[in-house]
Amino acid sequence: MQNNQMHSPWSFIAAVFLLLLLSTVTADAHAHLVEAAPAVGSVATHAPSEVVLTFSESIEPAFSSLEVQDETGHRVDKDDKHVDAMNSHILHASLKSLVTGRYHVFWRVVSVDTHVTTGDFIFQVNP
Amino acid sequence: MIVITAIFQAIHLAALLLMFGFAAFFLLVAMPVVRKVIGGAGNLKEFYEWSARWLTFMMMVAIAAEIGCFCIQTISISGLPLWRALSVDTLEIVGTQTSFGRQCLLRLTTLVFAGGYLLLKARNVEKPSSTWMMQASAVSAVLLFSVTLASHAAAGGGGALRWALVAVYAIHVIASAVWLGGLVPFAYILASTRRSYAGPWVLPAKEITQRFSTVALISVGLLMITGLLNAWIFVGSFSALATPPYGYLLILKMLLFATMLGVAAQNKFAITPQLDISSGLKRIYAFRPLRKLYRNVVLESVLGLAVILVATLLGLSPPAIH
């Protein structure tokens, strides 16, 4: 009985240690924009159907945002931003039908170690 | 916001370091010396009860700091106004849908359940228990290790390299816990020697000082080796030390560490040799160096807290090599 009483807390501690080990993800630095489609400052000859942003680190879907506005400030995305299922570095947002003009992309992402980064860029549609 | 985050994280880290340090001091220094010098556990019981009380208090502080960190990070990552950020809905999203939140909740759960268990056991144990202290040190070691898994070390490289960096950082943290965390119980013992020549801790004071000095020396050696390795990996060059804020913070940490080493060296080479308490007359002459040693240990403790705060700020800053 004495030995069992001594072993049970050690088993508990070992179990917690394993849980902590398994639940921990890599701690990364701030997530910076690595690649964008449409590209930053580009002129697209075909209206894109979505905006795809690739970041340097894995990002959290919750509290990350991606918004696209036209020249008048109206939103032209479908408010369906989501992190890529296969690659947690990529953020998508679908777009409504775009006409010729300039569009402004605003993004805010939270990396998995809670660092927040924001940014924006312009692209044009000119078929 | 980053300063508030650093303060909460520093309090959390300090609480965990002290938990481990208290237990390590009891097991490695106080218990072996008292049983050898006095031949009984009389003084040890009082010291054990004091250590156990402070250890459980540190657990409460760690829980409160963890909750504080969780709330502060929720405000930061949500980008919402304060009253909305701290709403149940937002806290639930952070706790269940973010990696940080899930880890935080797991650490909190560990602290609450392990802390509750240790508190219950402490009340039922009538004599100093090395088992209880070992369990307390194991819980704090597990929690300290979880902190290392969320550090810059865990972001470096992949596979075996990442785990090597985590191991280096873990050794650094545990060594600092043994040294910095052990200073507080050591100060308690020295403080009690100041009150009376016939106090229970006067006779073993020199041996305790020498034994803690040895333990601290090993810790300092490990700190220097792992500290240099970390600097080489995350700074990379001397010129990168001029990179704010990481480089400047690292220089400040090294200066604080060097100051602590200077104080520790004075304790070991100048003061400890004067602690000859073999006779009643010599005990009187040892009173002054004991007081000086106590003041130095308190100074080391304050510098140690400053090191912990700077280390937390380092953890929140992008490494200079990036």
Quote the minimal CA–CA distance from A40 to chain B in Å.
23
- Across A25-40, b (16+ Cβ under 10 Å) vs e yields bbbbbebebeebbbee
Quick check: A16 and B114 CB within 8 A? yes
Does the pTM of the predicted model rise above 0.90?
no
Compute the nearest-CA separation of A23 from chain B (Å).
Answer: 7
How many residues are there in chain A? Answer: 127
Read off the pLDDT of each residue in A49-58 and give the average, rounded to a whole number. Answer: 93
Residues of B in contact with A27 (CB under 8 A): 149-152, 154-155
Highest mean pLDDT among A29-33, A45-49, B38-42, B228-232: A45-49
Q: B124 at the A interface (CB within 8 A)?
A: no
Does the beta-carbon distance from A24 to B149 stay under 8 Å? yes
Under 8 Å between Cβ of A65 and A98: no
pLDDT at A28 over 50: no
Residue contact A60–B98, C-beta within 8 A: yes
Specify the pLDDT at position B280.
Answer: 54
- Identify the bridge partners of residue A69 per DSSP, sorted by sequence position: A75, A104
Average pLDDT by stretches of 10, chain B with 322 residues: 82 90 90 72 72 86 91 90 90 89 86 82 70 85 78 57 80 91 90 72 82 91 86 67 76 88 88 71 68 91 89 74 56
Q: What percent of chain A has pLDDT over 90?
A: 62
What is the phi-psi region of residue B159: left when phi exceeds 0, alpha when psi lies from -120 to 50, beta otherwise?
Answer: left
Chain B residues with CB under 8 Å of A110 CB are 77, 98
- Interface size between A and B, measured as CB pairs under 8 A: 87
Tell me the pairing of strands A116-125 and A43-44. parallel
Tell me the ipTM for this assembly.
Answer: 0.75
Q: What is the pLDDT of residue B242?
A: 67
Chain A neighbors of B152, CB-CB under 8 A: 27, 29
pLDDT at A105: 97
Record: contact B107-A20, CB cut-off 8 A:
yes
* Whether residue A52 has pLDDT greater than 90: yes
Interface test with A, best of B1, B80, B89, B99 (most A CBs within 10 A): B99
pLDDT at res. B170: 86
Q: Which residue in the set A29, A113, A114 is minimally distant from B322, CB to CB? A: A29
pLDDT category of residue A96 using cuts at 50, 70 and 90: very high
Segment 137-176 of chain B within 8 Å of chain A by CB:
138-139, 142, 145-146, 149-152, 154-155, 162
Residues in CB range of A90: below 8 A, 6 or more apart: A52, A53, A54, A55, A83, A84
> Measured between alpha carbons, how far is A75 from A92 in angstroms, rounded to an integer?
15
Q: Minimal Cα distance from A31: which residue of B?
A: B318
pLDDT for B197 equals 64
Tell if the CB–CB gap between B149 and A21 is shorter than 8 Å. Answer: yes
Q: How many CB atoms lie within 10 A of CB B56?
A: 18
pLDDT over threshold 80, residue A72: yes
- Would the pLDDT of A94 be above 90? yes
pLDDT of A5: 44
The whole-number pLDDT of residue A16 equals: 57
C-beta atoms of A20 and B99 within 8 A: no
User: How far apart, in whole angstroms, are the C-alpha atoms of residue B203 and residue B291?
Assistant: 15
What six digits make up the tokens of B43? 């003084």
CB B179 within 8 A of CB B45: no
More confident position, A48 or B120: A48
pLDDT of residue B321: 56
pLDDT for position B288: 79
CB contact under 8 A, A108 and B77: no
CA atoms within 13 A on the CB side of B124: 8
Q: What is the pLDDT of residue B41?
A: 44
* pLDDT score recorded for residue B136: 85
